[in-house]
Structure 1
C-alpha cells in the first residue's frame, strides 16, 4: 500500500499539515523539523505527488526557460549551458523544476510561451535574451505573468520589467579604451546579431570610446555575424580583405573569437604580434585557446542564479515590484593583446 502524508507525520511525530509545509519548503518550518520530516520520508520511501499538489495549490513548481532559438543552435555557444547551470542551482535549492523551450523561429517560440501560460505549465518564465522587436515580452506583460529577463528591455518601459544584466555599454567602452592605451587606433568591432540588445550596447560603448578619443568611427571596421565559431571566421574574412586593416579587434563573444583565431592562423596572421584581440564572456575555451584570450568576465553563472532568485521572489510575492540587477564585469588580461 502507498505511503501517505499521514504515515510520514506519524513517523516524524508532527501534524500532516507540517509535512505538507516541509514539502513546499515553507520558511515557517524550522530547519530541525524539516530535517526530521525529510528523514521520515526517506525511511518510508515517500515521494510527494506533485501533480496532485499542483492542482490543490495552483502551482507547478516549474520555471519556463525561453531560449533565443532552438537548443541545437543555442547550445553551440557555451554562454547558454553556463547560464542554465546558474538557473538550475537556484531552482534546485528552491524545489523548482525547469521547462525548456525548443522553438526554432520567433513564431514557434511565442506559441510555446502561450502554451506555457495558457496551459498553466509553469509558474514563471525566464527570458535568456533581449530582442529588438521582441514579441514574447509584450505578451507576458499583457497577461501579467511573472517573468524575468536576462538582458535589458528594448522599446519597453524598464520600470515594468524585472531584469538581470551586465553594463554592456561600459564593458565595451572599457575594452576599447584598453586597446587604445596599448597604442591601437585602428580598432575593428566584430559584433553579434543586431537583433539583440547586447550587440547594440556593445557597439555603442565601442563608438563612444572612439569619439571620446577623437578617433573616427570607420564603418568598414564594423561587421556583424551570428555568435558562433563560423560567424567569427566569416567576419575575419571581411575585415582582413580591407586595404587598411585594423590592428586590433573587439569580438562579441568567446566562441566567435575561437573562429577568429583559427581563421587568422590560416592567414598566417599572428596574435598578438600582428593583431590584438579582446573578447566577451570568459567561458572555459578562452583559457584553452592559443594564445589565451583577453576577455571580459560577465559572470554568466551569476546572471542565471540571480535571475532565478528574482523570479522565485516574484512568484511567491506578486506585489514585490520590479527589480533591476546589474551583475559586475571584469576584464581578464591574458595573451591575445599587445
Structure 2
C-alpha cells in the first residue's frame, strides 16, 4: 500500500489537514511547519497527486515565461539563460513549473500568451522584456491576469509590478568611465529602439555627454539586435565614418563580443585603438580577450525577484504593484584605456 497523507502527518507530528495545506502552499502555514512537512514527504517518498490538487485549487502551479524574440534566437544570449536560472531557483522552491512561450513573430507570441491565459495553462506570467506599446502587456492588464515585467514599463509605471536596474544612472556611470579617460568621440551601440532598456541606457549615455560638454552625434547612434551579429554590423557602420569613435558604449555583452571580433578583422585593437564598455556581465565578458569592462546588472537576482513577485501576485490578488530595483556594479577590466589624445594626468 502506498504512502498516504496520514503517514506524512504522523511523521511530521501535524494534522492531515495541515499536510494538505502545505501541499497547497497555504500562506497561513508557517515556514518552519512547511519545511518539516516537506522533509517528511521527501523522507517517506510521498508524492501528491498534482493534477487532483491543482483541480481542487483551480491552480496550475505553473508560471509562464515570455521572451520578445523566438526562443532559439533569444537563448543565443547568455542573459536569458541566466535570468531563467534565477526564475527557476525560486520556482523550484515554491514547487512551480515553468512554461516558456515561443513564437517567431509578435503575433505568434501574442497568440501563445492568449493560449496560456484562456487555456488556464499558467497562474502568472513573467515578461522578460519591456517594450514600447506592447500588446501583450495591454492584454494582460485588460484580463487582470497576474504578471511581472523584467524592465521598466513604458507607461503605467506605478500600476505594473516590475523588476529592473536603474539603467539611466548605470549608463551615466559607465559612459563617464570613458570620458574620465579622455575620450571625446564616444558612440552608442544599442538594441531595438522599441525596448525600454535601450531607451534608458541611451538616455544615460546622452546625459553623461551633455554634462561633459561633448556633442551628441546622430551618426554615433547605432541600433542592432542583442546578438553577436548585431555588434559586427554596427562596426561596419561606425568605422566607415570620417571621424570614427575612440570609445564605444554597448548595451549588451554579446554584442560587444561581435564588435571586438569585427574590430580585429579591420585591424583595430581593443583597447589600444578603441575602448569598449558594456552591460550585463555575462560569463563571456570575463573570458573575452580582452576582458570587458561592463555593468553587472545581477541577472540572476532579476530573475529571482521577478519570480517572487509573480508568485506573490498569484497568491494574493490584492497584492499592490511594486517596483523592485536591483543594484548594479561596474566591473572594470581591460577593454578600456586613456584616449591617445587625452591630456596627461596632473
- TM-score for both structures, normalised by structure 1: 0.95
Residue 165 of structure 1 is matched in structure 2 by: 164
Residue 180 of structure 1 is matched in structure 2 by: 179
The answer on 1:328 being equivalent to 2:324 is no
Q: How far 1:41 moved relative to its partner?
A: 3.0
Residue 88 of structure 1 is matched in structure 2 by: 88
Corresponding residue SS for 2:133:
coil
Residue 120 of structure 1 is matched in structure 2 by: 120
| 1:51-80 alpha-carbon deviations (Å, 9 max, x no partner) | 111111111111111111211000000000
The answer on 1:305 being equivalent to 2:295 is no
The answer on 1:23 being equivalent to 2:23 is yes
The answer on 1:223 being equivalent to 2:212 is no
Corresponding residue SS for 1:268:
coil
Corresponding residue SS for 1:206:
helix
Corresponding residue SS for 1:335:
coil
Distance in 1 (CA, whole Å) between partners of 2:299 and 2:32 is 34
Q: How far 1:32 moved relative to its partner?
A: 5.7
Residue 190 of structure 2 is matched in structure 1 by: 191
Corresponding residue SS for 1:153:
coil
Residue 253 of structure 1 is matched in structure 2 by: 252
Residue 200 of structure 1 is matched in structure 2 by: 199
Query: 1:47-58, aligned counterparts within 5 Å?
Result: 47-58=47-58
Distance in 1 (CA, whole Å) between partners of 2:254 and 2:193 is 17
| 1:157-176 alpha-carbon deviations (Å, 9 max, x no partner) | 21220001111111111112
Aligned alpha-carbon RMSD (Å): 1.6
Closer/same/farther in 2, CA of residues 11 and 186 from structure 1, 3 Å limit: closer
Distance in 1 (CA, whole Å) between partners of 2:208 and 2:247 is 14
Q: How far 1:258 moved relative to its partner?
A: 0.4
| 1:157-204 alpha-carbon deviations (Å, 9 max, x no partner) | 212200011111111111122211100010011111112111111111
- TM-score for both structures, normalised by structure 2: 0.93
Q: How far 1:6 moved relative to its partner?
A: 3.6
Residue 71 of structure 2 is matched in structure 1 by: 71
Residue 46 of structure 1 is matched in structure 2 by: 46
| 1:224-269 alpha-carbon deviations (Å, 9 max, x no partner) | 1111001101101111111111111111110000011111111121
Distance in 1 (CA, whole Å) between partners of 2:31 and 2:149 is 32
Q: How far 1:7 moved relative to its partner?
A: 4.3
Distance in 2 (CA, whole Å) between partners of 1:39 and 1:296 is 40
Instruction: Please tell me whether the aligned partners of residues 158 and 321 of structure 2 are also in contact (alpha carbons under 8 angstroms).
Output: yes
Closer/same/farther in 2, CA of residues 119 and 218 from structure 1, 3 Å limit: same
Distance in 1 (CA, whole Å) between partners of 2:304 and 2:293 is 25
Residue 243 of structure 1 is matched in structure 2 by: 242
Instruction: Please tell me whether the aligned partners of residues 171 and 205 of structure 2 are also in contact (alpha carbons under 8 angstroms).
Output: yes
Instruction: Please tell me whether the aligned partners of residues 130 and 151 of structure 2 are also in contact (alpha carbons under 8 angstroms).
Output: yes
Q: How far 1:304 moved relative to its partner?
A: 0.6
Closer/same/farther in 2, CA of residues 5 and 166 from structure 1, 3 Å limit: same
Instruction: Please tell me whether the aligned partners of residues 190 and 251 of structure 2 are also in contact (alpha carbons under 8 angstroms).
Output: yes
Stretches of structure 2 that go unaligned for 5 or more consecutive residues are 338-346
The answer on 1:103 being equivalent to 2:103 is yes
Distance in 2 (CA, whole Å) between partners of 1:175 and 1:42 is 48
Distance in 2 (CA, whole Å) between partners of 1:122 and 1:216 is 49
Closer/same/farther in 2, CA of residues 132 and 33 from structure 1, 3 Å limit: closer
Distance in 1 (CA, whole Å) between partners of 2:230 and 2:17 is 56
Corresponding residue SS for 2:222:
strand
Distance in 2 (CA, whole Å) between partners of 1:36 and 1:196 is 45
Q: How far 1:28 moved relative to its partner?
A: 4.0
Distance in 2 (CA, whole Å) between partners of 1:12 and 1:202 is 52
Corresponding residue SS for 2:107:
helix
Q: How far 1:38 moved relative to its partner?
A: 3.6
* Structure 1 stretch displaced more, 30-39 or 133-142: 30-39
Distance in 2 (CA, whole Å) between partners of 1:237 and 1:123 is 46
* Structure 1 stretch displaced more, 17-26 or 66-75: 17-26
Q: How far 1:133 moved relative to its partner?
A: 2.5
Closer/same/farther in 2, CA of residues 68 and 39 from structure 1, 3 Å limit: same
Q: How far 1:40 moved relative to its partner?
A: 4.3
